[in-house]
């Protein structure tokens, strides 16, 4: 199978939204029809990108949260 994956998130989405996308990719990877290439490789690539985006998101949102805290102080 060829799998068209359209991430519903970006590197600037809230971390929880990206975690939801990672869980969706993991759910897809468990389906037998996607166990072989190219679908398997497409899911692997999407998971790697989602993990990188999660790191960006965590950094961006943590910075904003700390600035918000400083503003409140």
Backbone angles phi, psi at 4, to 5 degrees: -90, 115
Q: Is the dihedral of CA 4, 42, 22, 34 positive or negative?
A: positive
Q: By three-state DSSP, how is residue 46 classified? A: helix
**Using the rule CB under 8 A, is 60 a contact of other proteins?**
yes
**Using the rule CB under 8 A, is 61 a contact of other proteins?**
yes
In the bound state with other proteins, the residue whose beta carbon lies nearer, of 20 and 73, is 20
**Using the rule CB under 8 A, is 28 a contact of other proteins?**
yes
The alpha carbon of 64 is separated from its chain's Cα centroid by a whole number of angstroms, namely 20
Binding site for other proteins (CB under 8 A): 1-13, 21, 24, 28, 33-34, 39, 42, 46, 56, 59-61, 63-64
């Amino acid at each position: 199978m060829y799998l068209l994956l359209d991430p519903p998130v970006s590197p600037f989405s809230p971390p929880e939204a990206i975690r939801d996308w990672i869980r969706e990719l993991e759910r897809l990877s468990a389906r037998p029809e996607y166990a072989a290439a190219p679908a398997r490789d497409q899911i692997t690539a999407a998971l790697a990108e989602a993990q990188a985006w999660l790191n960006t998101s965590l950094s961006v949102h943590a910075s904003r949260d700390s600035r918000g805290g400083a503003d409140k102080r």
